[in-house]
Amino acid sequence: MGTAAESRRSPLASRHSPEGRRRVVVHLPVYPENAYQPMLMQAQRDLGWEVIDGGGGGNFLRTALRDWRPDVLHLHWLHPYLLRKGRFASWMRGMRFLAEITLLRRSGIKIVWTVHNLGNHRQQHGGIELAITRRFARQCDLILTHGAAAAGAARERFRIPVSTPVLSTRFPNYCNQYPIDSRNSQWRSEWGLSESDFVIGFLGRVEPYKQVCELVDAFRGAAGNQHRLLIGGRASSEDYGNALRSRIGLDSRIQLFSDYVPDERMRSFLLACDVIACPSKGILTSSSVPLAMSFGRPVLAPAEGCIPEEVGDTGFLYDNSRTDGLQEVLQRAFAARSLLPEMGRHALARAQEASPEFIAEQIVAAYNSLLAQGRR
């Protein structure tokens, strides 16, 4: 791979003796701006594995065979290795990716894939992506999902062979990543909010599939004078950012902070809100849901994929097939204000059940089982 991957490689990556060495896993692509992968990777290190950050994309075959020489190659998202601007370029890159995976498997490396999505969110070259992904799924030694619903959906969409094991785990919490301080009034004043406000918050990248414009429309249809909508995050494109600002118009109840919210401000953002809105369409999982629950906040989210499994009865779920689904769930949240503190406590307790250490133990046990079986 290129210099980005090599610069982030573990300093122990070259210690690869035939016997008496630690097991090695490479995760790729890695997006460290979300704590999800760094948390899991550190938990695996704590279990005695050598964990290598494989970088955020590019060509990795030579580095994998020459330098990393891992026992397990753990892929999370495939689109950086498959999709290019043009259809022909995407086909060629996809076929090259499949050939590279075949060579790695023949060298004895186990291939593990976490299915986070059923397709890329931009719906770019969807047919090509699906065709390549189905071929890739047949080469996997183990597939992971964050919930039983995702396991069933992945088996059906990607035609995963019955002989390929699928491990479903919870999405890890963020409880130890961001220390929690419940002094709500302090955080509210930082964002220009008062104690009497009922605050719905949206935090994250502002993209069309996250239904942020739809959230604004629903809020304007359901909210009263005491309600506030706090949106924090950078738009995925200038056009979508402009569309969002147009939807907000002059509504003073809605505040838009149209930039990336860093970790040091993310905590105050979440604690300033009564409910965290995690709208989206066509997803399996959402890291925003366990993040909000880790802060003891009820979530408002679609009843899709694994989200109902994650949320249970600690939040507000809506039906995306209903045109008024978002507005109706906002009205339910507004009406349940007195119940929110108790719901938040239950959300935190539910999140605490899925620590990164617990999830890492399950994944490492699955790795070890693969390696004990030898090559399929």
d(CA 78, CA 91): 13
Q: Are 199 and 337 in contact (CB under 8 A)?
A: no
Q: What angle do CA 50, 146, 364 make, to 5 degrees?
A: 25
Query: For residue 47, what pLDDT is reported?
Result: 97
pTM: 0.89
* Same fold for the pair 3-172+355-373 and 184-352: yes
Q: Provide the 10 A C-beta neighbour count for residue 335.
A: 9
Query: For residue 181, what pLDDT is reported?
Result: 60
The 3-state DSSP class for residue 257 equals: strand
Query: For residue 1, what pLDDT is reported?
Result: 38
- CATH architecture for segment(s) 184-352: 3-Layer(aba) Sandwich (3.40)
For the chain, give every domain's residue range: 3-172+355-373, 184-352
All residues at 6 or more sequence positions from 347 whose CB lies less than 8 Å from its CB, including other chains: 292, 293, 296, 297, 298, 299, 311, 314, 315
Mean pLDDT per block of 10 residues along the chain (376 residues) reads 39 41 94 94 97 92 95 96 92 96 97 94 88 97 96 96 96 88 69 94 96 98 97 95 97 94 89 96 93 97 96 96 96 98 97 97 97 73
Query: For residue 374, what pLDDT is reported?
Result: 66
Query: For residue 9, what pLDDT is reported?
Result: 41
Q: Which fold, 3-172+355-373? A: Rossmann fold (3.40.50)
Query: For residue 58, what pLDDT is reported?
Result: 83
